Amino acid sequence: MVLMSSDLTAHADDAELAARIAAAADREAETELFRRMAPRIRLFGLRRLRNEDAAADLVQQTMITVLKALREGKLREPARIASFVLGACRMSVLEIHRGGRRRERLLEQFARDTEAWQMPAPPVLDHHRLTRCVQRLKERERAVVVMTFYDEQTGGDVARFLGVSETNVRVIRHRAIHHLRICMGAAA
Amino acid sequence: MSCATPVDSARLTDYWLALVPEAEEHAVEEHLFSCGECAARLGEVAAIAAGIRRLAQEGSLRMVVSEAFVRRATEEGLQVRQYALPAGGSVECTVTASDDLLIARLAADLQGAKRVDLCICDGAGAEQVRLADIPVHSGAGGVLYQESITYAKAAPSNRMIARLVAVEEGAAERLLGEYTFNHTRTLPGPGAFPEPPLAES
C-alpha cells in the first residue's frame, strides 16, 4: 500500500508534526496539528471561561502562539509539544483576561493562516435521546446532575438538599454520568 | 491508537467541575493535551453537561427540583408558573404559551419519612406514574415538583391528582398529602396528550 502525503501526516504523532513545522513551516502539518489540538484547547477554554466564543478565541490565539514559536525554532524538544501547547493555553487565558493588545497584533500578523483553519465540530448529542436517558435516571441521580450542571450548586448544597454526605453526592453523580454515557451509546 | 493510561470518567467529571486538587488538575491537563482519546471522552462529559443545562431550560423534565433551580431559572429570565398547595388542597390551574417552566409547591410534613414517593394519578385517583425515592429532607416542609411544560401545553382540560407518600418498612405506605390540579386548557387547538412520559425503569 502506498501512503499519500496527507495519510503520512494523519498517521504522524504530535512530535513528528511539531518537528516538520519547525523544519520547514509545513502547512499540512500545521493544519493537522490544529485539527488535533483545537478540541483540547476548546475544552480547556470552556472549563475556565464558560463561554463558547471565548473558547474559540482561545483556540485561535493559542495556536497562533504555538505555530509562531515552532516556526521560529523555539521548541527545542518536539516530544514536549503537548506540554508546550498547554503552557501557551494557560498564558493565552491570562492574556484574554487582561484584554492585551499583543493578541490583536498576532491576529493581524497571522490573518492568512487563521483563515485556513477549520474548527473541528464539537460532539453533538441526540437531544431527544438525552431527554429519554435523563428521564430514565433514578430521581436522586436526575436531581444531582441537574443541580450540578444547571443550578451550579456545590457538593455541600446538593448534599444538604438530598440529606446525604458530599461523598455520597459524588458517588450518585458519577453513577448518573456513567448511566447517561452508556444510554447515549458511549463505550463504558 | 489506544490510551494505555486512560483517565476514568469519574475523574474527568471531577476535573470538569473543578473538584480536583491543583496538583492533580495539572497532571490531568498534561494527559488530556497529549491524548486525543481521553480529550474526546472529556468532550462527551462536557456535551452531556451542556445537554442537561438545555433540558433544564426547556422545562421538559418531570422531576423534583430545588429552590436554587427555580431561582436560577428566574434569573435567566425564564417564565416560571407556580402553584402552591397545602396537603389536601386543590387549585384551578392552566399554562400559557409564554410559560417556560411549571412548578407545583406541595406542602407536607416530611418529618420521620425515610423514603418519599410522588405518585401522579389521573382524575379518578388511579396511579399513572410514580417518582420513587424523591430527593427530600425532613425539614423542608414540602416538595417542589416540576411538571413537563411540553406535556402540560399539549394537555386538554383535565384533573390530575398528586400524592406524596412515605414508604415505610415492609413497603407500607403512609399518605403525606394529596393535591388536586384542575387544569383548564387556555391554549388554542384541540389539545391532545403526547406520548406519556416514561415510567421508571
What integer is the mean pLDDT of B31-38?
A: 95
pLDDT over 70 at B193, yes or no: no
A47 inside domain: yes
Q: Which amino acid is at A29?
A: A
pLDDT band at A10; cut points 50, 70, 90: confident
Could you tell me if residue B41 is inside a domain? yes
**For the packed helices A27-49 and B22-34, what is the interaxial angle rounded to 10 degrees?**
150
ipTM computed for the complex:
0.88
pLDDT in tens, A147-162: 999 998 999 999 999 9
Q: Note which residues in 76-115 of chain A have CB less than 8 A from chain B.
A: 82-83, 85-86, 89
Q: Does residue A172 sit within a domain? A: yes
Residue with cell 451542556: B50
CA distance B171 to chain A (A): 18
B9 contacts A181? CB cut-off 8 A: yes
Report the gap between the CA of A149 and the closest CA in chain B (Å): 6
Per-residue pLDDT band for A127 (boundaries 50, 70, 90) equals very high
pLDDT the model gives residue A185: 87
pLDDT digits (tens, 9 = 90+) for B152-163: 998 999 999 999
A121 is a domain residue: no
Residues facing residue B103 across a β-bridge: B82, B146
Neighbour-count burial for B130-151, b at 16+ CB within 10 Å, e otherwise: bbebbbbeeebebbbbbbbbbb
- For A87, the domain range is 5-116
Domain termination site, one of B34, B56, B78: B56
Do A43 and A131 reside in the same domain of the chain?
no
- Say yes or no to pLDDT of B59 above 70: yes
Task: Measure CB to CB from residue B131 to each of A139, A151, A184 and give the nearest one.
Answer: A139
How many other CB atoms are there within 10 angstroms of residue A107's CB atom? 14
pLDDT range class, residue B200, cuts 50, 70, 90: low
Burial of A97 by CB count in 10 Å (0-12 exposed, 13-18 middle, 19+ buried)?
A: exposed
Residue B170 has a pLDDT of 86
DSSP SS3 for B35: coil
- Whether residue A100 is found in the same domain as residue A143: no
For B91, the domain range is 59-183
Q: Give the distance, in angstroms, between the CA of residue A30 and the centroid of all CA atoms in the same chain.
A: 18
Find the mean pLDDT for residues B84-105.
Answer: 97
Same domain, B99 and B166: yes
Residues A107 and A146 in one domain: no
pLDDT recorded at residue A4: 56
Q: Are residues B117 and B42 in the same domain?
A: no
CATH number for the domain that contains residue A158: 1.10.10.10
Instruction: Please enumerate in sequence order all residues whose Cβ is within 8 A of that of A165, keeping only pairs 6 or more positions apart, or say none.
Output: A159
Residue A60 within a domain: yes
Query: Looking at the predicted structure, is the pLDDT value of residue A109 above 90?
Result: no
Statement to judge: residues B24 and B64 lie in one domain: no
Percent of chain B with pLDDT over 90: 81
- The reported pLDDT for the residue numbered B91 is 97
The count of structural domains within chain B is: 2
What cell was used for B78?
A: 425564564
List the grid coordinates of B24: 492533580
Number of domains into which chain A is organized: 2
SS3 of chain B: helix, strand, coil, percent, to 5: 30, 30, 40
pLDDT at A119 over 80: no
Give the Cα separation of A40 and A44 in Å (integer).
6
In angstroms, rounded to a whole number, what is the distance separating the alpha carbons of residues B9 and B41? 8
Examine the pLDDT at A44 and tell me if it is beyond 80. Answer: yes
- For residue A188, the model assigns a pLDDT of 47
